[in-house]
């Protein structure tokens, strides 16, 4: 396997908005950097539902002090993709797309070795900004592996005029339920708690609650899916098990970071319900010297804790820490 001869000052794993923000900060500090992204630019955003609208306003999604203008009060997926493509063009970022980092480890010399599916790199510092959208939170019930079960939602058309069960009560679940219903699907929601999540977009929450109240969308609260079959779903409810005919299941129960990847790199993960990785909030450096975290990956299973708008500051914090260490 070919190995790059000269170690980079910093390699950034993840080419999402936060990884790009780290690249801009590294570039502005004069650091020799590389971003490695397993998919396309801002890969997670690309895989979001086609017509998704962000909770944040455009200005809160900005990076590199470049204005993000849009006509609507909240930008959508397409506008975000256009914005981040333009960021890449403007800064001419050094990004390798469609290259997956398979392992990171610190050698006895203090230099990091990064092995990808294409080659091997060395770096003095590493930033992990891999987000959380790649690993679904599985419900672990019989039938979850059937083709009718989806853990990602793109658009409503394929569910039109079909019987659809949507599991969950967060933003992705509510958006999917409403869009599918508008396109003619018979929608049933299965919700573990007794209400729609308070973090659902404030302009969407009343809509779904009203559709449930009027009976347009059926909702089973304090309930869980117990079994999925080719033509039916069994739901455990406070009143006992209920079996309903079904064509598709959208198990939109959330996603999680690749904590195993962090652990293999030597990062300590708290043995608690939130599985929070260890890092210094003043520098974003983990327990592994020279290895930093940026973005939503910092929250462990608390994936609602960090967003683009409140974690883009990680970029300057990290690059300031790296240059301070180098100069010291």
Per-residue pLDDT reduced to its tens digit, 96-115: 999 999 999 999 999 999 99
Distance of CA 17 to the CA centre of its chain: 11
Residue carrying the six token digits 């050698």: 107
* pLDDT tens profile 37-50: 999 999 999 999 99
Query: Minimal CA–CA distance to 148: which of 175, 170, 166?
Result: 166
Calculate the CA dihedral of residues 44, 49, 50, 51 and round it to 10 degrees. -120
pLDDT in tens, 46-69: 999 999 999 889 999 999 999 999
Looking at the predicted structure, is the pLDDT value of residue 78 above 70? yes
Tell me the per-residue pLDDT of 141-196, one tens digit each, with 9 for 90 and over.
999 999 999 999 999 999 999 999 999 999 999 999 999 999 999 999 999 999 99
**d(Cα 8, Cα 32) in Å, to the nearest integer?**
5
Per-residue pLDDT at 1 exceeds 80: no
Mean pLDDT value across residues 74-92:
96
pLDDT-based confidence at residue 134 (cuts at 50, 70, 90): confident
- Bridge pairing between strands 112-116 and 120-123: antiparallel
pLDDT for res 129: 97
Q: How far apart are CA 306 and CA 293, in angstroms?
A: 12
> Comparing 10-135+255-327 with 138-251, is the CATH topology the same?
yes
pLDDT tens by residue, 269-310: 998 899 999 999 999 999 999 999 999 999 999 888 888 999
Q: Using CA atoms of 294, 298, 300, 302 in order, give the dihedral in degrees to the nearest 10.
A: -110
8-state DSSP, 238:
T
Domain residue limits, the chain: 10-135+255-327, 138-251
pLDDT value at position 71?
87
Q: 138-251 belongs to which homologous superfamily?
A: FAD/NAD(P)-binding domain (3.50.50.60)
CATH of domain 10-135+255-327: 3.50.50.60
Whole-number pLDDT of residue 307: 86
Task: Return the pLDDT at 6.
Answer: 76
**Quick one: pLDDT at residue 274?**
92
Rounded to whole angstroms, what are the CA distances from 309 to 38, 55, 56, 208?
Answer: 23, 10, 7, 26
Q: How far apart are CA 164 and CA 152, in angstroms?
A: 14
Under a CB-based contact definition with an 8 Å cutoff, are residues 80 and 73 in contact? no
């Amino acid at each position: 396997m070919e190995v790059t001869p000269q170690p980079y000052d910093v390699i950034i794993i993840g080419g999402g908005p936060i990884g790009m923000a780290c690249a801009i900060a590294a570039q502005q500090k004069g650091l020799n950097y590389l971003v490695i992204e397993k998919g396309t630019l801002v890969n997670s955003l690309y895989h979001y539902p086609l017509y998704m609208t962000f909770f944040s306003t455009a200005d809160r999604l900005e990076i590199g002090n470049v204005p993000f203008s849009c006509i609507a009060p909240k930008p959508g997926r397409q506008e975000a993709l256009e914005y981040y493509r333009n960021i890449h063009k403007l800064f001419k970022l050094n990004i390798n797309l469609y290259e997956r980092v398979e392992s990171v480890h610190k050698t006895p010399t203090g230099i990091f070795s990064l092995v990808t599916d294409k080659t091997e790199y060395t770096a003095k510092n590493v930033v992990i900004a891999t987000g959380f959208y790649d690993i679904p939170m599985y419900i672990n019930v019989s039938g979850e592996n059937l083709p009718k079960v989806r853990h990602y939602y793109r658009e409503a058309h394929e569910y039109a005029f079909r019987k659809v069960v949507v599991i969950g009560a967060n933003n992705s679940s509510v958006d999917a339920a409403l869009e599918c219903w508008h396109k003619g699907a018979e929608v049933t929601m299965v919700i573990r708690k007794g209400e729609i999540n308070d973090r659902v977009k404030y302009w969407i929450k009343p809509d779904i609650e009203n559709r449930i109240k009027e009976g347009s969308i059926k909702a089973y609260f304090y309930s869980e899916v117990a079994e999925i079959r080719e033509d039916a779903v069994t739901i455990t409810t406070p009143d006992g098990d209920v079996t309903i005919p079904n064509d598709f299941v959208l198990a939109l129960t959330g996603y999680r970071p690749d904590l195993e990847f962090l652990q293999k790199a030597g990062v300590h993960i708290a043995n608690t319900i939130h599985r929070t990785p260890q890092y210094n909030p003043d520098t974003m450096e983990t327990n592994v010297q020279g290895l930093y975290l940026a973005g939503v990956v910092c929250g462990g299973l608390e994936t609602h804790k960090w967003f683009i708008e409140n974690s883009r500051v990680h970029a300057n914090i990290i690059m300031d820490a790296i240059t301070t260490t180098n100069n010291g």
